[in-house]
Structure 1
């Protein structure tokens, strides 16, 4: 029993209810346009099924295509994420190497600067010691010159006053002793 059979059964029951004074349907087929409605429903069912089936198939294929594209984009995104994470790991490793190299360079530069500073301090000490020695030599030379000048003045003054024979003999003996004779 199809749809038309069901419609006829309902119409029959409604007619019985109307004849008893209640609610019912009119069974005059020409007046109620049941045939027209049955034809319309049949045509809609026959042609609508194809249209709806085609529409649903198109929609299904569109959805499947969209899902495939989304899955492909997700795979591509996962690949790109993996590549970016690899690059990040490499960049972090390079940054660590650069930091270690910079620390090593700073350490060696510091040691070189300290060594150079120690050399400079030692050179300054040596220069200061040489300058001090030079000043001491100059002061001693000046003192010697003053002593020699004073000795000469004293010798001249004694020569002018005259030297006694004893003093002259002692001076000659000393000079001979100094000369090695």
Structure 2
């Protein structure tokens, strides 16, 4: 209990066994003077030390603020440059899109013109094929007509001449004389 009273006395509180807790107003016993002396010494001697530390800290903070402002200015300048580059890139993209649209339109027109030419060529080719097919059919038809006419003539000759060899020899002689023979 003696130790507890010593600690309590240093804090300005007195423990009384029968009385309970109470406040000790004796200045010498409570070490208020000692505490005031220590605070005064810390303020007197620590002022220069703490002032130097605080001044260095203030200068470091001011320097950091100045550097941060410079970095902010550089970042703002760089942001402006990048925005300008972005605007230029967007303009370039618009120009490229316009060129691509014009190129696509020109290419489309060329393809359509080539398609029309190809259609005309195919029509002409089909017309030629039709004409040549008609000509072949006509030639074939003429040949068949000539063959039929020859067969009919042969049949007619055979029926008129029959088996008569005298009529046959007269016909041969007359044909030779027409051709210029003797």
Structure 1 and Structure 2 fold alike (TM over 0.5)? yes
List alignment gaps of at least 5 residues for structure 1. Answer: 1-22, 163-181
The equivalent of 1:123 in structure 2 is 125
The equivalent of 2:50 in structure 1 is 48
- Equivalents in 1 of 2:141, 2:95: separation in Å? 68
The equivalent of 2:62 in structure 1 is 60
Q: How does 1:153-172 map to 2 (within 5 A)?
A: 153-160=155-162
1:137 equivalenced with 2:139 (yes/no): yes
What is the TM-score when the length of structure 2 is the normalising length?
A: 0.62
Alpha-carbon distance, 1:148 to partner: 3.4
List alignment gaps of at least 5 residues for structure 2. Answer: 1-23, 165-182
> Alignment partner for residue 104 of structure 1, among 103, 106, 110?
106
1:129-169 deviations in whole A, cap 9, x for unaligned? 2211221122023213312331343244334599xxxxxxx
Q: CA RMSD in A?
A: 3.0
Secondary structure of 1:61's aligned partner: helix
More strand, by proportion: 2
Alpha-carbon distance, 1:61 to partner: 0.8
Give the total of aligned pairs.
138
1:43-90 deviations in whole A, cap 9, x for unaligned? 223332232122111111111101211220221122123213312320
The verdict on how the C-alpha distance between 1:159 and 1:55 changes in structure 2, with shifts beyond 3 A counting, is same
The verdict on how the C-alpha distance between 1:36 and 1:159 changes in structure 2, with shifts beyond 3 A counting, is closer
Alpha-carbon distance, 1:36 to partner: 5.0
